[in-house]
């Protein structure tokens, strides 16, 4: 994505002018286009008047653009996404500070509060209705032509207005999550939008998050041309090609997330991407003007030819976002530097609407309307996005062991037993981003599944690189229960297969234990499970299983640590080529292993070795288990603890220390049978 052409800068305030467009779409005559010029069109009475009144209202000159319907849109507006309890206060503060542009959406769930704020300020006489520009958006679930007017009227009622200055189609998706492939087309919805203009309910109509390809089809068919395309624009995602296409076709671009720090997705790539507000180039430009970097970025957005919609609930920041970004400008050289930053990435990627096909017939085997990011955005940024995500995280390569069926399993996994509800998903997400490739699940598949879906969408990891273990609980330990448990696990996790399915305890409703194992073997033959294993099986039970098993267990998951070495069981497992997976490898069965410290682990030998190596006692136990030839699945909740566990791969116990721990006095079992 190349840098945009740097416009000549000769004025304090930027504006837009219109001219005939020789590049207009077929069938569109004399379609005006907007060009960023260097003329001064100061905002005074007769343009977008500012009414100087008493109280906290401030007179401020503002830049604006002319829309193709003849309306003027102020280039600095207030974004209201995620403003709930504070929205009314924010809107009132904005209008009193001189704002004349408020951006709303039915989906934000706060238009009633916005309406109260607007109504209060209008009643006070601080500003007149004709002097403010109000935008709202049609949500996905109201795209059916017979629902459009009702949705608009609901918005008008909530906002306490008679008309909207601009009404946008929020996303080109006709249901809540983008699964529906046969919903109303955007052209069908657009015809209903045009009728809103005819009825006087809205002055201008437009779209949001539409690509050039989708806009071309709309412009060609539309009776009333879209006035605005509201999309993500900031120095870290300039959207140059789209802006240029819109400029040539008389469509104004309004920029959401103008600071490049969207809060729109706590579960999207935005949470981890670098922020333009930390960029050294932008910081140096800000310092040269004695401005904050945020105000410098807003100023850049105005000079980039877009209207910008910064969000804030703080009255002081709201005022400054307007007052500190007008009356000055970036020099041509500064604008060029800010418009030439190498890092470019779409932050709000719409991943919630991307659904590739799946082999699960109980889900949506054909996928959704958009099966890839390329389908949604019609560009080639998906590979760039994947490279960014994979390069963003410093991952540690975890060694693997080859199992007796030829498959491999990482020697360090992430245990989730008794992890606090509400935190399991985040823990798994953090772990996979840090390099974990093995997750051991235990009754919390719902939360884990949500994280897996996000991780796969973000291309942090491919499915074939993840090893997932699930458990057959005692209540399901019978032939019918085993099949039901696997099918339920796959559906909940959104997976086509489980890498390892293990019997959690060697008892339960197990009158027909052999029948249960055969049912599990059948799921291996069906491809729903790759490997089978057991947990908490002693020598006798393991030998009994081997008498009839056609699919040999690859794993026996047991409590194992220096205090519980299970030497006889280990020898048998090695003779049978069954790997041992150690839970509670740090000799503590409580879910919060972060509490392990010198006081919890009081073994003097352990403490002396840990002190000598400058390591945590729990890390020493974990390292011992790995050197003891077992796969380990410690639990962790915090990001720091996840990294501490990974760090045990970078060092070894000396032979002397390993032997000392291996021959120390064994203690009682800590995980008792249920």
Question: What is the Cα–Cα distance from 636 to 536, expressed in whole angstroms?
Answer: 22
**99, 108, 236, 583: which is the annotated catalytic residue?**
108
**Residue 44, both tokens:** 């005074």
**How many CB atoms neighbour CB 325 within 10 A?**
26
The DSSP call for residue 76 is B
Provide DSSP, 213-240: HHHHHHHHH-SS---EEEEE-BTTB--H
Q: Are 471 and 500 in contact (CB under 8 A)?
A: no
Token pair for residue 657? 């220390």
Helix (H, G, I), strand (E, B) or coil at 579: strand
DSSP per residue, 241-293: HHHHHHHHTT-EEEEESTTS---S-TTSGGGTS--GGG-HHHHHHHHHTT--H
- Residue 108 annotated among the catalytic residues of the structure: yes
| DSSP letters for 153-204 | HHHHHHHT-S-EEEEEE--S-SSSSS--SSS--HHHHHHHHHHHHHTTSEEE
The string of DSSP codes covering 116-163 is HHHHHHHHHTSS-GGG-EEEEEE-GGG-SHHHHHHHHHHHHHHHT-S-
For residue 508, which phi and psi values (nearest 5 degrees)? 125, -140
**Pair 358, 364: CB distance under 8 Å:** yes
Cβ burial of 360 (10 Å; 0-12, 13-18, 19+) is middle
Neighbours of 292 (CB within 10 A): 18
Q: Which residues are catalytic?
A: 108
């Amino acid at each position: 994505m190349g840098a945009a052409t740097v416009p000549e800068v000769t004025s304090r305030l930027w504006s837009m002018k219109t001219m005939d467009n020789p590049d207009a779409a077929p069938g569109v005559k004399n379609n005006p286009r907007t060009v960023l010029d260097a003329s001064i069109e100061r905002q005074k009475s007769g343009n977008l008047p500012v009414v100087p009144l008493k109280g906290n209202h401030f007179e401020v000159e503002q830049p604006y653009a002319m829309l193709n319907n003849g309306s003027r849109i102020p280039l600095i507006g207030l974004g209201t996404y995620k403003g709930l309890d504070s929205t009314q206060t924010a809107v009132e503060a904005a209008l009193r500070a001189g704002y004349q542009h408020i951006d709303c959406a039915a989906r934000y769930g706060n238009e009633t509060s916005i309406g109260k704020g607007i109504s209060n300020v209008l009643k006070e006489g601080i500003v007149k209705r004709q002097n403010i520009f109000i935008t709202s958006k049609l949500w996905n679930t109201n795209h059916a032509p017979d629902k459009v007017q009702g949705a608009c009227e609901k918005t008008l009622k909530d906002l306490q207005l008679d008309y909207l200055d601009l009404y946008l189609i929020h996303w080109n998706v006709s249901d809540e999550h983008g699964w529906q492939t046969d919903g109303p087309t955007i052209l069908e919805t657009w015809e209903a939008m045009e009728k809103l203009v005819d009825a006087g309910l809205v002055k201008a109509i437009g779209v949001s998050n539409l690509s050039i390809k989708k806009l071309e089809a709309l412009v060609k068919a539309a009776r009333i041309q879209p006035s605005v395309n509201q999309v993500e624009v900031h120095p870290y995602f300039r959207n140059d090609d789209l802006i240029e296409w819109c400029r040539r076709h008389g469509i104004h671009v309004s920029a959401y997330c103008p600071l490049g720090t969207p809060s729109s997705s706590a579960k999207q790539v935005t949470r981890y991407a670098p922020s333009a507000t930390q960029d050294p180039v932008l910081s140096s430009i800000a310092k040269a003007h004695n401005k904050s970097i945020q105000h410098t970025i807003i100023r850049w957005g105005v000079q980039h030819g877009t209207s910008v919609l910064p969000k804030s609930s703080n009255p002081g920041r709201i005022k400054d976002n307007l007052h500190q970004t007008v009356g000055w400008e970036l020099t041509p050289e500064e604008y060029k530097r800010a418009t030439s930053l190498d890092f470019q990435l779409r932050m709000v990627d719409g991943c919630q609407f991307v659904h590739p096909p799946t082999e699960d017939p109980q889900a949506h085997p054909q996928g959704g309307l958009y099966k890839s990011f390329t389908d949604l955005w019609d560009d080639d940024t998906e590979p760039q996005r994947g490279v960014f995500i994979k390069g963003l995280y410093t991952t540690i390569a975890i060694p693997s062991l080859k199992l007796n069926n030829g498959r491999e399993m990482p020697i360090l996994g992430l245990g989730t037993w008794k992890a606090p509800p509400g935190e399991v998903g985040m823990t798994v997400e953090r772990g996979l981003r840090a390099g974990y490739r093995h997750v051991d699940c235990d009754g919390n598949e719902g939360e884990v599944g949500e994280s897996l879906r996000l991780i796969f969408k973000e291309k942090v990891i491919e499915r074939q690189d993840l090893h997932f273990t699930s458990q057959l609980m005692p209540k399901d330990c019978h032939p019918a229960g085993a099949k039901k448990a696997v099918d339920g696990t796959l559906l909940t996790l959104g997976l086509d297969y489980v890498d390892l399915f293990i019997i959690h305890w060697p008892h339960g409703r197990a009158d027909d234990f052999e029948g249960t194992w055969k049912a599990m073997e059948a799921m291996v033959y069906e491809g729903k499970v790759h490997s089978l294993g057991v947990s908490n099986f002693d020598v006798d039970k393991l030998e009994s299983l081997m008498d009839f098993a056609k699919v040999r267990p690859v794993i026996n998951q047991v409590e194992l640590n220096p205090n519980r070495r299970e030497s006889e069981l280990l020898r048998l497992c090695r003779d049978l080529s069954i790997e041992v997976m150690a839970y509670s490898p740090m000799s503590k069965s409580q879910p919060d292993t972060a509490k392990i410290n010198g006081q919890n682990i009081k073994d003097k030998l352990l403490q002396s070795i840990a002190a000598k190596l400058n390591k945590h006692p729990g890390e020493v136990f974990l390292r011992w288990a790995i050197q003891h030839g077992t796969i380990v699945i410690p639990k962790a909740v915090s990001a720091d603890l996840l990294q501490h566990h990974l760090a045990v791969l970078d060092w070894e116990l000396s032979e002397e220390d390993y032997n000392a721990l291996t021959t120390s006095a064994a203690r009682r079992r800590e995980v008792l049978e249920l």
